[in-house]
Amino acid sequence: MTIKKVCCLGAGYVGGPTCSIMAYKCPDIQVIVVDKSKQRIDEWNSDVLPIYEPGLDEVVKQCRGKNLHFSTEIETAIKEADLIFISVNTPTKTFGYGKGKAADLKYVELAARDIVETVESGFKIVVEKSTVPVKAAESISTILHSKQKAGVEFQVLSNPEFLAEGSAITDLLHAERVLIGGEQSPKGKLAIGALSWIYQHWIPEEKILTMDTWSSELSKLAANAFLAQRISSINALTPLCEETGADVSEVAKAIGKDSRIGSKFLQASVGFGGSCFQKDILNLVYICESLGLQEVAAYWNSVIVINDYQKRRFSLRIVHRLFNTVTDKRISILGFAFKKNTGDTRESAAIHLSKHLMDENAKLAIYDPKVDKQQILDDLSHPYISEDPSRVARLVTIHQSAYEAGQGSHALVICTEWDEFVKLDFRRMYEIMEKPAFVFDGRKILDHEALISIGFEVETIGKRFNQSANRLDDF
């Protein structure tokens, strides 16, 4: 079976870049990305794309209007497509059963219902690209087969996405593996072959793994759980390092040289953020609990427990070092995105840190090179963060540069590892700050010896500079 037209429901961080690369690498396929949000589609059709991702602009400019289209005409796109990706959001439920843990599958179900209502004829391959609980494909399939229309046939595949934000284009172009799960029947294998053929335009065949649907769905949750578990493992060593005088970077280097452990994802930090890790682990925990696997649930949940502890520990450290009071003190938050090279702030450690400092009535001067002012204000005004939104207006200012934010500050807090923060002129920064001037390096990216020689008081994750500074008895 040859695929001529592909449609993707959801023009977000996954749907947009994935389809752009597909169009770029498959000139023989027409790719249309649709979304319910008119604003998002308008942005995809404009000069300022709705997401910042290195290399994305060039790819979109090259293909848009040729074989890559962004539209709100969902019905037409579904009708005409041979293959339909579902790449909609699957956030953690905020209500009812599974509140705070289970994935909210509302958008996936609505997408499936849109498809079944719209399709009038033909064999359609529906691909679950969103990250979902195990067996979600079964629910999608049940919905798709709930209306028996003559001449209509569906096959559902699982094709989870492994791109990381900030490196999405490279990750998509040079994927270490593509995973396709499907029914092990002749029709299922036909569908797997058709999707595999698309990827083979640029991914070597041996990197395309095919398997049953449920293994594919679980592999996605497992991959994110393993990655996050590594970060929590290294972060769990940071208080030990601070107490004993060891340096967590040296420990990471030493253990990472063991090829069985490997060196990646061992960067200690103020805590992992992003829209995926916490959500997907909570989802895994919920599935385990639902199946009565309490010990397994507790094991994976501990990854989140350590991450929360790490965020809380760092903000307490700031308060503690600033003489146990930050009320009315200006503190510069450098970086608000959950990692560098993205403007995405979902679950960013900076949000939680800012909340703790606002709870102490600190005045926050925030700067991030890629996050919009309104996004920062919205994040901090969210009811989970600020019960009283007027508090944000009173305590928070947003700035155009690190120096503007640093002016008159008692402390700089590095929350995101942006390269430009490493290159700052810290002598200039020191001059414009209150004294004693503190640096809290939550990403362990700065030259701490150089900062100390300028006159800064320095604190970082997993390394002790000040003998008396580290014992925190109150958390």
Binding site residues, ligand UDX, CB under 6 A:
161-165, 224, 227, 231, 265-267, 269, 272-274, 276-277, 338-339
Least Cβ distance, residue 185 to ligand UDX (angstroms):
29
Q: 118 or 361: whose CB is closer to ligand NAD? A: 118
Interaction of residue 276 with ligand NAD, rule CB under 6 A? yes
Binding-site size, ligand NAD (CB under 6 A):
28
341 contributes a contact to ligand NAD by CB under 6 A: no
3-state secondary structure 169-206: HHHHHCCCCEEEECCCCHHHHHHHHHHHHHHCCCCCHH
**Binding flags for ligand NAD, 228-267, as an x/- string (CB under 6 A):** ----------------------------------------
Least distance from ligand NAD to the Cβ atom of residue 131, Å: 4
What are the residues whose beta carbons fall under 8 Å from the beta carbon of 422, sequence distance 6 or more?
445, 446, 447
Out of ligand UDX, ligand NAD, none, which partner does residue 460 contact, by CB within 5 to 8 A per kind? Answer: none
Report, in Å, the least distance between residue 273 CB and ligand UDX.
4
Cβ atoms < 10 Å from Cβ of 128: 27
Terminal-to-terminal C-alpha distance of the chain:
61
- Residue closer to ligand NAD, measured from CB, 13 or 336: 13
Which residues have a Cβ under 8 Å from the Cβ of 251 and sit 6 or more positions away? Answer: 234, 237, 241, 462
Read off the DSSP letter of residue 73. -
Q: Which residues contact 203 (CB under 8 A, 6 or more apart)?
A: 175, 178
Query: What minimum distance in Å lies between the beta carbon of 375 and ligand UDX?
Result: 16
The answer to whether 269 touches 352, Cβ cutoff 8 Å, is: no
Which one of ligand NAD, ligand UDX, none interacts with residue 314, CB within 5 to 8 A by kind? none
Instruction: Give the 3-state secondary structure of residue 439.
Output: strand
Rounded least distance, CB 49 to ligand NAD, Å: 12
Alpha helices in 186-343 (DSSP H): 186-199, 213-244, 248-256, 277-290, 294-321
* Interaction residues for ligand NAD, span 4-63 (CB under 6 A): 9-15, 34-37, 40
Measure the CA–CA gap between 160 and 22, rounded to whole angstroms.
15
15 is in an annotated binding site: yes
Site pattern 431..460 for ligand NAD (x: CB under 6 A) = ------------------------------
Q: Could you tell me the smallest distance in angstroms from the CB atom of residue 120 to ligand UDX?
A: 35
Residue 415 annotated as binding site: no
SS3 at position 16:
helix
Neighbours of 471 (CB within 10 A): 10
The reply, when asked if residue 283 is annotated as ligand binding, is no
User: Binding marks (x or -) toward ligand NAD, 122..161, rule CB under 6 A?
Assistant: --------xx-----------------------------x
Say how far apart CA 90 and CA 276 lie, in whole Å. Answer: 10
Catalytic residue set: 276
Half-sphere exposure at residue 342, Cβ-oriented, CA atoms within 13 angstroms: 20
Residues 6+ apart with CB under 8 A from 211: 179, 180, 181, 219
Distance, CA of 236 to CA of 460 (rounded, Å): 14
Interface residue with ligand NAD, options 55, 71, 79, 110 (CB under 6 A): 110
Q: Is 39 annotated as a binding residue?
A: no
Q: Is 459 annotated as a binding residue?
A: no
Question: What kind and span of H or E run contains 15?
Answer: helix 15-25
Question: In the bound complex, which residue of the shown chain has the CB atom lying closest to ligand NAD?
Answer: 12
Which residues does the annotation place in the binding site for NAD(+)?
A: 10-15, 35, 40, 88-92, 130-131, 165, 276-279, 346
- Residue ranges of the annotated binding site are 10-15, 35, 40, 88-92, 130-131, 165, 276-279, 346
Interacting residues with ligand NAD (CB under 6 A) = 9-15, 34-37, 40, 74, 87-90, 107, 110-111, 114, 130-131, 161, 163, 165, 275-276
